[in-house]
């Protein structure tokens, strides 16, 4: 909804007075509703800590910066070579305002204006992502959907769809296995096993020979992206790309 700036400012001041909200990252007062659950300063930090120059050109994983005299045009992390997706990107690391926005979205079907702008900017910064022909939000198992009442990946998909004009496809892919929530300390092999055959392609004709963009809130390991990409490629998709709000990065790869 468009509001002249002065009226929007007045609305924000009134709402802040009625419902004062503290930034979930630093505790300061949030002055504008467009910032969602974090204050403007914490959002600026997200923008300043956007991915460093050095990252894997396929999966977007940040890599240790190279000495300035060394230049490699297409660096790869060495972990994603076997992955069935073509290209994965996130709006930034899973920390600060991005982390809090992802956590909020799990219980509230809302995406702040600030988060939306960052998502759209990340999409339009990449010709690979722009080549996508439809958006598939990572599906929830029907049992989990009933508990949660909404799928946060769909909220992200529709936000991106309204800016890009791409169709959201919720029909093609189903989650047929109610996987355990990934617990801290769960080994990579265990995570991979819980995701095996977790997805089923219901409507292959919607993805046949298409470039598909899979959308989710956070990429932790790449296992979910890999399982979905494999399912879609086997079903006839020509290319699978991935876009998430955030990427969990525990360490930089050499
Ligand atoms: Zn803050
Ligand atoms: Zn990689």
Looking at the CA of 82, which ligand is closest? 2
Q: Is 81 domain-assigned?
A: yes
Distance 97 CA to ligand 1 centre (A): 7
CA of 132 to the centre of ligand 1 (A): 34
Whether 58 is in a domain gets the answer yes
Summarize pLDDT for 100-146 with one digit per residue, the tens.
Answer: 999 999 999 989 999 999 999 999 999 999 999 999 999 999 999 99
pLDDT confidence of residue 16: 58
- Residues with CB in 5 Å of ion ligand 1: 23, 25-26, 28, 39, 42
Which two tokens mark 222?
Answer: 């790449």
Q: Is residue 38 part of a domain?
A: no
Nearest to 228 by CA among 252, 253, 199, 206: 199
Distance 65 CA to ligand 2 centre (A): 15
Environment class of 76 (CB within 10 Å of its CB; exposed 0-12, middle 13-18, buried 19+): middle
Q: What are the angstrom distances between the C-alpha of 81 and each of 77, 172, 177, 194, 221? A: 8, 26, 26, 22, 14
**Residue 205 confidence (pLDDT):** 92
Q: Is 146 within a domain?
A: yes
CA of 25 to the centre of ligand 1 (A): 5
Pick from 193, 165, 199, 197: which is nearest to 180 by CA?
Answer: 193
Q: Examine residue 172 and state whether it is found in any structural domain, yes or no.
A: yes
Confidence (pLDDT) at 33: 85
Q: Which residues of the chain have pLDDT under 70?
A: 1-3, 12-20, 50-53, 69, 71, 180-189, 191-192, 250-254
Residue 106 CB partners (closer than 8 Å, separation 6+): 148, 152, 217
Distances 198 to 84, 143, 195, 236 between C-alpha atoms, Å: 16, 13, 5, 18
Question: What is the per-residue pLDDT for 24?
Answer: 93
Of the bound ligands, which one is closest to the alpha carbon of residue 242?
2
Nearest to 230 by CA among 61, 78, 86, 77: 86
Confirm whether 1 is domain-assigned.
Answer: no
Neighbour count for residue 21 (Cβ, 10 Å) = 16
Q: Is residue 150 part of a domain?
A: yes
What is the distance between the alpha carbons of residues 213 and 243, in angstroms, rounded to a whole number? Answer: 7
What per-residue confidence (pLDDT) applies to 3? 63
Q: Domain holding 183: CATH number?
A: 3.40.50
Residue 35: count other Cβ atoms within 10 Å of its Cβ.
22
Q: Ligand 1 centre and the CA of 26: distance in Å?
A: 4
**Ligand 2 centroid vs 218 CA: distance in angstroms?**
16
Indicate which ligand has the atom closest to the C-alpha of 60: 2
* CA 229 to the chain's CA centroid: 15
The pLDDT of residue 250 is: 65
The alpha carbon of 215 and the centre of ligand 1 are apart by a number of angstroms equal to 26
Taking residue 247's Cβ as centre, other Cβ atoms within 10 Å add up to 24
Full residue range of the structural domain in which residue 137 is found: 52-247
Write down the pTM of the prediction: 0.86
Residues, the chain: 254
If one counts the domains in the chain, the total is 1
Please tell me what DSSP assigns to residue 252. Answer: -
Query: Tell me, what's the pLDDT at 68?
Result: 72
- Specify the pLDDT at position 50: 65
pLDDT score, position 25: 94
- Return the C-alpha torsion angle 98, 30, 158, 156, nearest 10: 20
229 inside domain: yes
Which residue, among 118, 135, 218, 208, has the nearest Cα to 170 in the 3D structure? Answer: 135
Q: What's residue 254's pLDDT?
A: 45
């Amino acid at each position: 909804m468009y509001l002249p700036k002065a009226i929007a400012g007045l609305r924000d001041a009134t709402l802040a007075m009625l419902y004062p909200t503290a930034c979930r990252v630093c505790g300061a007062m949030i002055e504008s509703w467009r910032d969602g659950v974090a204050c403007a300063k914490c959002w600026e930090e997200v923008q300043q800590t956007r991915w460093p120059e050095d990252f894997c050109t396929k999966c977007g994983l940040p890599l240790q910066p190279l000495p300035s005299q060394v230049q490699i045009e297409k660096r790869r992390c060495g972990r994603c070579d076997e992955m069935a997706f073509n290209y994965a990107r996130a709006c930034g690391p899973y920390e600060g305002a991005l982390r809090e926005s992802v956590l909020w979205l799990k219980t509230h079907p809302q995406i702040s204006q600030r988060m939306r702008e960052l998502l759209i900017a990340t999409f339009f910064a990449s010709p690979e992502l722009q080549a996508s022909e439809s958006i598939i939000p990572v599906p929830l198992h029907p049992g989990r959907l009933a508990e949660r009442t909404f799928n946060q990946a769909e909220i992200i998909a529709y936000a991106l769809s309204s800016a890009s004009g791409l169709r959201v496809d919720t029909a093609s892919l189903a989650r047929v296995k109610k996987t355990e929530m990934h617990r801290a300390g769960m080994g990579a092999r265990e995570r991979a096993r819980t995701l095996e055959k977790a997805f089923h392609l219901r409507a292959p004709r919607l993805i046949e020979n298409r470039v598909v963009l899979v959308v989710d809130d956070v990429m932790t390991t790449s296992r979910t992206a890999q399982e979905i990409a494999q399912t879609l490629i086997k079903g006839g998709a020509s290319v699978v790309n991935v876009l998430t709000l955030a990427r969990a990065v525990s360490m930089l790869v050499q």
